[in-house]
Amino acid sequence: MVTVGVLVAAVLLIGQTGVARQSSSQRPKAAVVIVIDQMRADYVTRFTPYFTGGLKRILSEGAVFDSASHEHANTETAVGHATLSTGCFPSHHGIVGNEFYDRLHDQIVYAVEDTTTRLLRTTSAPLKRDDSLGSSAHYLLRSSIANWVAQADKHNRVFSISLKDRSAILMAGQSAQENTRADAVYWWDRKTGDFVTSTAYAQALPEWVNRFNRSGARDNWRDSVWNRIGDTTQYDAIGPDSVALENDGIHTAFPHRFTTERGNRSYYDALYYTPYADQLLIGFARELIRKEKPGKGKGFDLLMISCSAADAVGHSFGPMSQEIFDHYLRLDKCLDTLIRTLDSALGRDNYVIALSSDHGCANLPPVENRISVRDYQAAVLGVAKEAMASSLLDFRRDSVISFLGSDLIIRRNRLAPIDSANESLLIRALTWSLDKLPFVLKEESAETIRMLDNNFYPGRMPDISVILKENLLLTSSTTGTGHGTPYWYDRHVPLAFWGVHIKPQHLTYRVRTVDMAPTLADLIGIAQPDSVDGVSLFRNIRE
Ligand SMILES: [Zn+2]
């Protein structure tokens, strides 16, 4: 509902600046970013008819872009979250993989590892030294929407939560400067079941987090059996329940006695592979809303939530499974409780929601489309040996080449001095030989090259990027599925905005995930840096 006064104010603002900025009375008090890990865009079309809760509200009352995609090659969690939050490609924000090769220090690093920080937990059980290492965003080279919000006004606050450290941290953006970093960043520690943070963000966990960790909420499902919550005919319309390559290949059908069906997992590990883990996260989010009261402070508040268990269930059962369908039916209900909490805390006209995903996923690959990591590495080392022989070089081949997924890294410090001079010869010979392998993509399309370009950050790249043919999955497991390729099924994700003054509609033209942060910045009326790769879609979705 737009009052006449507000309309006049808005028109005046357009007149003054030429840009349709929102007047302060229209500006929401809070925004919620919801990232659902591994949510493919086709879930919107396939599952929406069955949604009745939070996802229904966002997808039927919001502006939904049906053709949004990540435009980088390495469609992994860290890369996707950093791209969504910074509005930049990995070639600018620098997070080129969940792990990447730090060329300067000749080591493979995890995207959020930070040995200068410690983890802050509630549980004080004795742990191994490595278990107390914290993490931060020090590898992230561009600011995120969280930083823009924090910088805009000292009263603004940012909260970022996830089950995964890399998701919470990379949404929350750069962490080095106290005055522009997020106020609170929490993720779930599967070793203890605690929601934790690191010394990069706080000196201690707030008491409400400790209380939540001690509340027993995380132990609610110890005796639970995961069964379908909806009508079984709905599930049959989605697909068969039992598919040979699901889960561990044995426990492929409901009901899932998840605490015992994958024998060697701890309870928290097992829980992570069920919808209950995302339910726990949303429970934590609601507690955060009750305790921190976003939207009720002196400034604007941004709450970022990344639901990671959707990825774990997707990996185990695949996009066409009844289990992933059940996960989304449950998430729809969970998000309904979250949105109702926000409605009553803030009023539904006072906040906006942005929804997207960090990457998609391949359909469960049949046996003939699975390339085992062991076979892959053996085949590559086989042709490498030939390449070296034909280049008249004599390398200790096993230690000179390291693998990072399908990519190859030449460890220069392990080369004999005489061979170092011939390094480029080796790379050329290797590249030529790799083309002989039947599973390697030989002719890259212009689009694939663009994805690789957008994913290229100097000093963090392997020596040879190997792209496998479409629909092939490089995996160390004989079951389940994955993502990480430049293909459409891994890149095509939902992008939706919901809130007052956003016109409910489906938009079919192509947009990019780098457009999310600039659009949200416009929606909430905060400035963004000039150097982002994305563009604001604000004009396209406003009423
Ligand atoms: Zn994943």
- Structure confidence by residue, pLDDT tens digits, 324-378: 999 999 999 999 999 999 999 999 999 999 999 999 999 999 999 999 999 999 9
Cα 485 from chain centroid?
14
d(CA 9, CA 24): 9
d(CA 96, CA 457): 7
Residue 9 reports pLDDT greater than 90: no
CB-based contact 487:474 (threshold 8 Å): no
Long-range CB pairs of 104-108 (<8 Å, 24+ gap) are: 104/459, 106/411, 106/412, 106/413, 108/402, 108/404, 108/409
Distance 378 CA to ligand 1 centre (A): 25
Distance 483 CA to ligand 1 centre (A): 6
Structure-token pair, residue 379: 């085949």
Residues with CB under 5 A from ligand 1 (ion): 311
Q: What is the DSSP letter of 256?
A: B
Structure-token pair, residue 14: 């357009």
**Cα-Cα-Cα-Cα dihedral sign, residues 367, 368, 372, 374:** positive
d(CA 227, CA 147): 41
**Cα-Cα-Cα-Cα dihedral sign, residues 370, 373, 374, 378:** positive
**Smallest Cα–Cα separation from 64: which of 433, 508, 451, 456?**
508
Distance 71 CA to ligand 1 centre (A): 17
Q: For residue 175, what are the contacts with CB-CB under 8 A and spacing of at least 6?
A: 136, 137, 138, 140, 169, 181, 182, 185, 200, 201
In the chain, ranges of CATH 3.30.1360.150 domains? 367-475
User: Burial of 485 by CB count in 10 Å (0-12 exposed, 13-18 middle, 19+ buried)?
Assistant: buried
Task: Look up the CATH architecture of domain 4-231+268-361+486-541.
Answer: 3-Layer(aba) Sandwich (3.40)
Cα Rg of the chain (Å, integer): 24
CB-based contact 353:58 (threshold 8 Å): yes
d(CA 508, CA 348): 27
Q: What is the domain class of 367-475 according to CATH?
A: alpha beta
Distance 366 CA to ligand 1 centre (A): 19
Phi and psi at residue 69, to the nearest 5°: -145, 150
Structure-token pair, residue 527: 């400035």
Distance 314 CA to ligand 1 centre (A): 8
User: Burial of 319 by CB count in 10 Å (0-12 exposed, 13-18 middle, 19+ buried)?
Assistant: buried
Distance 48 CA to ligand 1 centre (A): 22
**Smallest Cα–Cα separation from 295: which of 332, 334, 344?**
344
Distance 102 CA to ligand 1 centre (A): 22
Q: What is the pLDDT of residues 248-290, one digit of tens each?
A: 999 999 999 999 997 889 999 999 999 999 999 999 999 999 9
Distance 536 CA to ligand 1 centre (A): 28
Q: According to the model, what pLDDT value does residue 398 have?
A: 54
Q: According to the model, what pLDDT value does residue 6 have?
A: 34
Q: For residue 496, what are the contacts with CB-CB under 8 A and spacing of at least 6?
A: 58, 59, 62, 63, 64, 65, 353, 354, 355, 356
d(CA 321, CA 236): 10
Distance 37 CA to ligand 1 centre (A): 7
The structure tokens 């790379």 sit at 427
Q: According to the model, what pLDDT value does residue 455 have?
A: 98
**Coil vs helix vs strand at 64:** strand
Distance 528 CA to ligand 1 centre (A): 30
In the chain, ranges of CATH 3.40.720.10 domains? 4-231+268-361+486-541
User: Which residues share a beta bridge with 32?
Assistant: 303, 353
**Cα-Cα-Cα-Cα dihedral sign, residues 67, 68, 74, 77:** negative
Report, in this order, helix, strand and coil percent for the chain, each rounded to 5: 40, 20, 40
d(CA 312, CA 478): 16
Mean pLDDT of the chain: 91
Q: What is the pLDDT of residues 20-67, one digit of tens each?
A: 445 555 689 999 999 999 999 999 999 999 999 999 999 999 999 999
pLDDT classification of 114: cutoffs 50, 70, 90: very high
Distance 282 CA to ligand 1 centre (A): 19
Distance 123 CA to ligand 1 centre (A): 27
Distance 389 CA to ligand 1 centre (A): 38
Q: According to the model, what pLDDT value does residue 137 have?
A: 98
Structure-token pair, residue 36: 């659902």
Query: 133-135 and 113-120 as β-strands: parallel, antiparallel, unpaired?
Result: antiparallel
Among 68-72, 117-121, 177-181, 284-288, the minimum mean pLDDT is found in: 177-181
Element (H, E) at 278: helix 275-292
Residue 2 reports pLDDT greater than 50: no
Q: What is the pLDDT of residues 76-90, one digit of tens each?
A: 999 999 999 999 999
Distance 315 CA to ligand 1 centre (A): 6
**Coil vs helix vs strand at 473:** strand
